[in-house]
């Protein structure tokens, strides 16, 4: 037998030694996606004619046997999604014909052997999701045929080697979720075919290199949760195919560039949260017709919320998901993950961008009223405007946002009553209007009845009704008393005026009544005035 394919069943047990000791002509062995246990037998090194070895997605444990380095004809090796431990054997560097190597999601430790740099035929190299603690070997720069390099989700240390700039055929470079330090090498600007660059969740420093503007085919740029500084480089306007731009959790300062809306028309995710950005929100962002996530939270942004944000097409009408295609049949260990604060905790949405439709402008210095135009965005799943300086009332048509699951308007200066239309938000699961100046009865009905935590309305002294203990009847009685008091004051005012008029009139006429000489003089004066007017009218 030369080929053995039993992948994607429910087979279990240990791998028999007979496969490798008796089948000397074996060239393909695939038992992936089953339930096999135990170790990879060292005798696997006897099957020297093997070209394909797929043991992925089982329950295999123990180390990778060093004798695997004897399989010099091997072209495809996948040991991913098991419980393998120990280091990657240096002998793996003998597999110079290998084009596909996947070791992801195991418990491997130790180092990435520099000998992997000898495997110059490699096109796909995946060593993600283990416990490797070494620096990235500079010899990986020898793998000039490489199209995909993913060593994310480890504990890699040290700087990003500048030699990676030699890998000019790379389409994806994922080094995220490690402990890498130092600046982003300017040499990465040489990777002009790159489509996804993920360096997020490291300890990188310095500015974003202007050379990244050379990556004209880049679709996904993740640099969040580092210690990057400086302004957003204007050279990124050349990356016109960007779908995801995530620069959050850094020390980036300056204004939000207008060209983000004018040049990056394919953007679906713009995440600039937790930086030191200032200035106002550019109205040009409304030109991003595909934008479905706008996260500018935790900055120093001021001014008002642009009314034009109500024109964001994808948030108003939805977006059509494109079908993903691939040119090869190997398992693809890749996720386009976006992290947002979701219902009070940070959640990573992996390959589910269609679920992330929302706006987060919280913890800034935004002023003035919430634009009514935001209620046009009927596809919104979350809206967070909390911890700003917003005033005015909650838009009356807030109920148009029928898909909202999260609405947070807390810690502002909003006033007036809560609109009755808010009861139309039947998917609402996380809701907060606390610490404003809202008044009147809290609307009831539908989903609002399940949100019974009084703290979501706290800090609004004039609110009443469920779930607060403050009864609206007491407020109405107070209003009636105030109205009665006002009426009494008006009556006394009118009586005072009338009494003053009467007293003043009687005082005057009383003097005329008792003083004859004054009475004659007054009537004589009236006669003279009358005669004068008569003569004027006769002319």
Q: In this structure, is residue 28 part of a structural domain?
A: yes
Q: How far apart are CA 187 and CA 189, in angstroms?
A: 5
Q: Which of 155, 170, 204 is the last residue of a domain?
A: 155
Residue 498 shares a structural domain with residue 359: no
**62, 496, 501, 518 from 504: Cα distances, Å:** 111, 12, 5, 17
Segment 388-404 shows an average pLDDT of: 97
Torsion of CA 440, 446, 447, 448, to 10 degrees: 10
The more confidently predicted of residues 433 and 4 is 433
* pLDDT band, very low/low/confident/very high, at 11 (cuts 50, 70, 90): confident
Q: Which of 117, 139, 155 is the last residue of a domain?
A: 155
Q: In this structure, is residue 475 part of a structural domain?
A: no
Q: In this structure, is residue 193 part of a structural domain?
A: no
Q: How far apart are CA 90 and CA 72, in angstroms?
A: 14
For helices 516-538 and 472-514, the axis angle rounded to 10 degrees is 100
Segment 356-369 shows an average pLDDT of: 96
Residue 312: Cβ within 10 Å count: 26
Reply yes or no on whether the pLDDT at 500 is more than 70. no
Reply yes or no on whether the pLDDT at 482 is more than 80. no
| Helix, strand, or coil (residue 414) | coil
Residue 177: Cβ within 10 Å count: 20
Percent of the chain clearing pLDDT 70 (strictly above): 81
Reply yes or no on whether the pLDDT at 459 is more than 50. yes
Q: In this structure, is residue 443 part of a structural domain?
A: yes
Exposure b/e, 181-199, CB count within 10 A at least 16 = b: beebbebbbbbebbbbbbb
The residue written with tokens 């977006």 in the block is 319
Residue 379 shares a structural domain with residue 354: yes
Cβ proximity of 333 and 128 under 8 Å: yes
Q: Please give the pLDDT value at position 340.
A: 62
**6, 258, 283, 357 from 262: Cα distances, Å:** 52, 7, 10, 21
The residue written with tokens 């560097």 in the block is 93
Torsion of CA 483, 486, 490, 495, to 10 degrees: 100
Q: How far apart are CA 136 and CA 429, in angstroms?
A: 44
Average pLDDT, the chain: 86
Reply yes or no on whether the pLDDT at 440 is more than 80. yes
Q: In this structure, is residue 261 part of a structural domain?
A: yes
Q: In this structure, is residue 133 part of a structural domain?
A: yes
pLDDT digits (tens, 9 = 90+) for 135-194: 999 999 999 999 999 999 999 999 999 999 999 999 999 999 999 999 999 999 999 999
3-state secondary structure string across 504-528: HHHHHHHHHHHCHHHHHHHHHHHHH
**Residue 242, phi-psi category: left (phi > 0), alpha (psi -120 to 50), beta (remainder):** beta
Residue 459 shares a structural domain with residue 503: no
Q: How far apart are CA 360 and CA 329, in angstroms?
A: 39
* pLDDT band, very low/low/confident/very high, at 417 (cuts 50, 70, 90): very high
Q: Which of 114, 133, 155 is the last residue of a domain?
A: 155
* pLDDT band, very low/low/confident/very high, at 489 (cuts 50, 70, 90): low
Overall number of domains in the chain: 3
In sequence order, what are the residues at sequence separation of 6 or more whose Cβ sits closer than 8 angstroms to the Cβ of residue 475? 462, 464
Residue 462 shares a structural domain with residue 511: no
Q: Please give the pLDDT value at position 487.
A: 52
Please enumerate, as own/partner, the contacts of 320-324 that have beta carbons within 8 Å and a separation of 24 or more.
321/354
Q: In this structure, is residue 301 part of a structural domain?
A: yes
Q: How far apart are CA 487 and CA 481, in angstroms?
A: 10
Segment 40-55 shows an average pLDDT of: 91
Four-residue CA torsion sign, 298, 301, 305, 306: negative
The more confidently predicted of residues 518 and 238 is 238
Peptide bond into 467 cis (omega under 30): yes
Edge-to-edge strands, sheet with 251-255: 157-159, 179-183, 203-207, 227-230, 251-255, 276-278
* pLDDT band, very low/low/confident/very high, at 514 (cuts 50, 70, 90): very low
Residue 144 shares a structural domain with residue 282: no
Cβ proximity of 256 and 301 under 8 Å: yes
Four-residue CA torsion sign, 206, 292, 263, 254: negative
Q: How far apart are CA 321 and CA 145, in angstroms?
A: 31
Residue 382 shares a structural domain with residue 526: no
Residue 457 shares a structural domain with residue 509: no
Q: Please give the pLDDT value at position 320.
A: 62
Q: What's the first-to-final CA gap in the chain, in angstroms?
A: 139
Structure tokens at 264: 């990056």
Structure tokens at 302: 């001021």
Q: How far apart are CA 225 and CA 61, in angstroms?
A: 33
pLDDT digits (tens, 9 = 90+) for 191-250: 999 999 999 999 999 999 999 999 999 999 999 999 999 999 999 999 999 999 999 999
Q: Please give the pLDDT value at position 485.
A: 46
Q: Please give the pLDDT value at position 25.
A: 83
The CATH number that applies at residue 64 is: 3.80.10.10
Q: Please give the pLDDT value at position 441.
A: 96
Q: How far apart are CA 58 and CA 13, in angstroms?
A: 10
Reply yes or no on whether the pLDDT at 115 is more than 90. yes
Residue 452 shares a structural domain with residue 500: no
The DSSP secondary-structure symbol of 468 reads S
Segment 104-122 shows an average pLDDT of: 96
Domain range for 103: 1-155
Q: How far apart are CA 373 and CA 160, in angstroms?
A: 45
Reply yes or no on whether the pLDDT at 322 is more than 70. no
Cα radius of gyration (the chain): 38
Nearest to 327 by CA among 100, 140, 154, 114: 100
* pLDDT band, very low/low/confident/very high, at 447 (cuts 50, 70, 90): confident
pLDDT digits (tens, 9 = 90+) for 264-306: 999 999 999 999 999 999 999 999 999 999 999 999 999 999 9
Reply yes or no on whether the pLDDT at 534 is more than 80. no
Q: Please give the pLDDT value at position 484.
A: 44
Residue 429 shares a structural domain with residue 516: no
Residue 464 shares a structural domain with residue 491: no
Reply yes or no on whether the pLDDT at 329 is more than 50. no
Four-residue CA torsion sign, 68, 72, 73, 79: positive
In sequence order, what are the residues at sequence separation of 6 or more whose Cβ sits closer than 8 angstroms to the Cβ of residue 71? 44, 45, 47, 48, 50, 53, 95
Residue 434 shares a structural domain with residue 492: no
Q: Which of 301-315, 356-370, 404-418, 479-493 has the lowest mean pLDDT?
A: 479-493
Q: Please give the pLDDT value at position 475.
A: 53
Nearest to 250 by CA among 268, 269, 270, 277: 277
Residue 23 shares a structural domain with residue 131: yes
Please enumerate, as own/partner, the contacts of 483-489 that have beta carbons within 8 Å and a separation of 24 or more.
none
Q: Please give the pLDDT value at position 325.
A: 44
> DSSP states of 248-282 as a string?
-SSEEEEEPPTHHHHH-TT-SEEE--SSEEES---
Q: In this structure, is residue 449 part of a structural domain?
A: yes
Q: Please give the pLDDT value at position 495.
A: 43
Reply yes or no on whether the pLDDT at 362 is more than 50. yes
């Amino acid at each position: 037998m030369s080929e053995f394919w039993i992948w994607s069943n429910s087979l279990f047990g240990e791998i028999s030694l007979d496969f490798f000791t008796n089948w000397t002509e074996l060239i393909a062995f695939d038992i992936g996606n089953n339930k096999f246990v135990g170790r990879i037998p060292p005798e696997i090194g006897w099957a020297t004619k093997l070209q394909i070895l797929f043991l992925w997605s089982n329950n295999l444990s123990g180390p990778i046997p060093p004798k695997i380095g004897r399989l010099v004809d091997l072209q495809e090796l996948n040991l991913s999604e098991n419980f393998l431990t120990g280091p990657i054997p240096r002998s793996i560097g003998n597999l110079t014909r290998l084009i596909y190597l996947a070791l992801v999601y195991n418990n491997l430790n130790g180092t990435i052997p520099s000998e992997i740099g000898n495997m110059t035929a490699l096109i796909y190299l995946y060593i993600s999701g283990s416990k490797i603690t070494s620096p990235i070997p500079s010899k990986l720069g020898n793998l000039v045929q490489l199209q995909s390099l993913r060593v994310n989700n480890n504990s890699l240390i040290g700087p990003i080697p500048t030699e990676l700039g030699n890998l000019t055929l790379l389409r994806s470079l994922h080094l995220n979720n490690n402990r890498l330090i130092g600046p982003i090498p300017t040499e990465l600007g040489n990777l002009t075919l790159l489509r996804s660059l993920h360096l997020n969740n490291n300890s990188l420093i310095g500015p974003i290199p202007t050379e990244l503007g050379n990556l004209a085919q880049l679709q996904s740029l993740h640099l969040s949760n580092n210690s990057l500084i400086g302004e957003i480089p204007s050279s990124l306007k050349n990356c016109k195919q960007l779908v995801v731009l995530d620069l959050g959790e850094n020390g980036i300062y300056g204004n939000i560039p207008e060209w983000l809306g004018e040049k990056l028309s394919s953007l679906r995710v713009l995440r600039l949260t937790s930086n030191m950005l200032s200035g106002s929100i550019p109205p040009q962002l409304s030109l991003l017709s595909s934008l479905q996530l706008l996260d500018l939270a935790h900055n120093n942004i001021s001014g008002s919320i642009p009314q034009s944000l109500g024109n964001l097409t994808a948030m108003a009408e939805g977006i059509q998901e494109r079908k993903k295609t691939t040119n090869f049949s190997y398992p693809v260990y890749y996720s386009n993950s976006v992290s947002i604060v979701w219902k009070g905790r940070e959640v990573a949405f992996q390959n589910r961008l269609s679920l992330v439709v929302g706006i987060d402008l919280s913890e800034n210095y935004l002023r003035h009223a919430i634009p009514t135009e935001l209620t046009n965005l009927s596809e919104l799943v979350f809206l967070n405007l909390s911890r700003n300086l917003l005033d005015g009332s909650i838009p009356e048509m807030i109920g148009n946002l029928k898909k909202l699951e999260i609405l947070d308007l807390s810690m502002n200066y909003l006033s007036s009553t809560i609109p009755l239309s808010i009861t139309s938000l039947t998917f609402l699961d996380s809701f907060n209007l606390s610490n404003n100046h809202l008044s009147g009865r809290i609307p009831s009905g539908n989903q609002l009845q399940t949100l019974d935590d009084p703290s979501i309305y706290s800090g609004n002294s004039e609110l009443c009704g469920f779930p607060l203990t403050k009864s609206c009847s007491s407020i109405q009685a107070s209003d009636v008393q105030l109205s009665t008091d006002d009426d009494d004051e008006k009556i006394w005012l009118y009586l005072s005026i009338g009494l003053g008029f009467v007293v003043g009139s009687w005082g005057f006429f009383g003097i005329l009544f008792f003083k004859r000489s004054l009475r004659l003089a007054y009537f004589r004066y009236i006669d003279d005035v009358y005669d004068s007017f008569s003569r004027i009218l006769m002319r």
